[in-house]
Amino acid sequence: MGQQDTAARRFPKHCGIYNYNENSNGESATLRNDILNRMKESRAGTYAQTCYPPIGTLSKPDLFSSMRCKTFYRQNINYKSDRQDSTCPFADPNLCIKGALTVSFDTGKIDSSVIGINTKRPYQFRRKTTCSPLIQHGYVRKVSDSGYERYFYEYGKWHDFDKNGTRYEVRNYTYDTWGDPVYTPAGGYDAYPYITDLNMAKSYWIQDPVFSAPNETYIGDDPDAYYYNANARSRAVACIDQTWFCSPDGTCFEEGDKENDKPRNREFNFMKWSLMYSTTYDAISLRLRDGLLAQQHVSQYMSKDLPPTQWMDEMENLFATTLARTHFDAWAIASGEGHDEPGYRREFPPETDPLNLCGLFKFRSSSYINLSWWPIICVLISTPLAIFFSLDVKDLTFWRADNPPAGNQRAPPADDQRAHAQPQYGTFNAPVVPNDLSRQQSVVEGQQGSFPNPALNQGRDEESSPEATGGPNSAPAPENGVVHDAQIDDLEGAIV
């Protein structure tokens, strides 16, 4: 059978990048856009837990959902993890919790064909994320006003930025616990997942820098102690996302490099745009607590017992989610996702875009397969040749009475004398007949069979005489050299 795969390319009518236009739509369209973005984030998280290798003790893929893992050209993007680094990755090493390790996840160089970009000379990318839990003392400030208790997290430097024409001042990337706990700062750290495990009862004491449970309590008449966290302050984990791009000639540069990170050909742009929203921030900003593995194992006030490395498992799950998001965003560009949503517009119309992205994406199709014809052609040619050369043949000697050998000037004998004529020898190839089939009846048209063995011919001469055949009143002699039902006594003498 020929080599086969199920790769196919997408050629939809609405391929391209569709973004939401916040300035030309009402509040309902904006809310719908938020729901759509959360759906994109959720499907990437589900795919990461289902189609990527299990992470920790809480990540168990759904076997039924795993049947959907064969849609993309490559099921996942491989990466390596390092959980033994004790170096604080930030400019101020005092930000990291003493004794806590830093985790990092690195894909190495990955061909863009892995995410489905169809090209003979693929570009490459590399994604690395480094995370470490941060201390709270000196950086978290409690404010009580209007009956609310709020906490400000004052990490980093001052930064001003504009949003929708209104100036917002964000002091040290500060957030309160009842507002949006995550935002990507401009420069410095890339994302702050803020995690709180407040009042979640566990059956044993946990020394995790993020999911700790140091306080002991008893519930009802249960004699066993439970442990929980009474601190209402969220623990912050800072992550740094880094992305590199490499051209087919091996030249690499980091994302944001002003000299090299510029629009190139359509294969490069397709790869870069597929990675644009696959960051740690985009992996959790809309799902919030639902994006955590630990949240999936909570019922009312009880939590499943967590391992001491749970925060590392959570960061790795977010990293796998960013990689899964890359797959989906590449598919979204190829399919034109959002073209039928209200308020969405195409960034580059096909009639004006010199770097059209249509037809660049390949995926696994379940409806047909691709075949390589060369192996099939070789099989079709070699099969009859193999059958022909496998035949076991021998030379069979025969003679024809009406065709005397060269130099024999005698006239051909009469029909009733042909049985006594001297044989003329010739050969033709015939399959070997087993000895147990030596007694056969044969019909030879245009010739009369005989054998060079005198003993065999003697017996045949006697049978051919008028006396042996019943005399003049017996069956007439063969006409035109056709012999019917000639008895062969021993075929072995015919094999030379």
Q: Strand 102-106 and strand 124-133: pairing?
A: antiparallel
CA distance 85 to 104: 8
Dist. CA 283–CA 267, nearest whole Å: 25
Q: What is the pLDDT of residues 344-378, one digit of tens each?
A: 888 776 655 656 778 888 867 555 555 555 666 77
Q: Where are the domains of the chain?
A: 4-371, 393-494
307 CB neighbour count, 10 Å cutoff: 14
Overall pTM surpassing 0.85 (yes/no): no
Position 176 scores a pLDDT of: 36
Structure tokens given for 73 = 């050209």
Q: Please identify every stretch of the chain with a pLDDT value under 50, giving residue numbers as ranges.
A: 1-4, 7-10, 158-189, 396, 425-428, 430, 433, 436-452, 455-457, 459-496
The whole-chain average pLDDT of the chain stands at: 71
Token pair of 299 as six digits: 């019922």
How much is the pLDDT for 86? 86
pLDDT at 83: 93
Tokens of 6: 């199920």
Rounded CA-CA distance 437/489 in Å is 10
- Please spell the DSSP secondary structure of 200-266, one letter per residue: -BBSS-B--SSS-B-EEEE-TT--SEEEEB---SPEEEEEEEEEEEE-TTS-EEETT-TTT-S--SH
